[in-house]
Amino acid sequence: MQAIQDKEGVKRYLITLYVNGDSYTRVVKANTLLVNVLRDELDLTGTKKGCELGDCGSCTVLLDGKPVNSCLVLAVEADGHEILTIEGLGENEKLDPLQEAFIANAALQCGYCTSGMIMSAKALLNSNPNPTEQEVREAIAGNLCRCTGYVNIVKAILSCAQQPEGGSE
């Protein structure tokens, strides 16, 4: 990461982020948050800004495959890392199966928490393709939803789980 001083003497940093398979180079201040770069610089507004304190999970993205609250990650910390946002899940304008499951199971209402919830669920299913209901609930514990009772969210995630050996499909 290269440090640059601007005309006012403020130190800025040249960073490269790998977002949804694409490379982006930006100049940022040391205190610039990843959520702000994603939303304001890259126009990836699926990542929501909720509490901006790391409590609600609406800004969850995958950083090197791990779910993180992008409101708590400095952009300079993400330099050189892989970031996956909700916009990067589907392929060729086709929704990811997890996104389809949320729709099919009515797992969203206002939708504000949905992208963060899906990203947390994606990380879980990537590391554990056949989670229990308890494991699903633990994986989404950092994602708050004020509209639902989480029942349909859990059902949607479990519907994407792989069947265990010998299980029915």
Q: Count other C-beta atoms under 10 Å from residue 93's C-beta.
A: 5
Q: What structural domains does the chain harbor?
A: 2-87 (3.10.20.30), 97-159 (1.10.150.120)
Q: pLDDT tens digit string along 55-79?
A: 999 999 999 999 999 999 999 999 9
Q: Percent of the chain having pLDDT more than 70?
A: 96
Q: pLDDT tens digit string along 77-111?
A: 999 999 999 999 998 889 999 999 999 999 999 99
Mean pLDDT within 133-152: 94
Q: pLDDT tens digit string along 36-52?
A: 999 999 999 999 999 99
The whole-model pTM stands at: 0.91
Q: According to the 3-state scheme, what is the secondary structure of 79-131?
A: CCCEEECHHHCCECCECCHHHHHHHHCCCCCCCCCHHHHHHHHHHHHHHCCCC
CA distances from 92 to 57, 95, 96, 119 (A): 27, 8, 10, 19
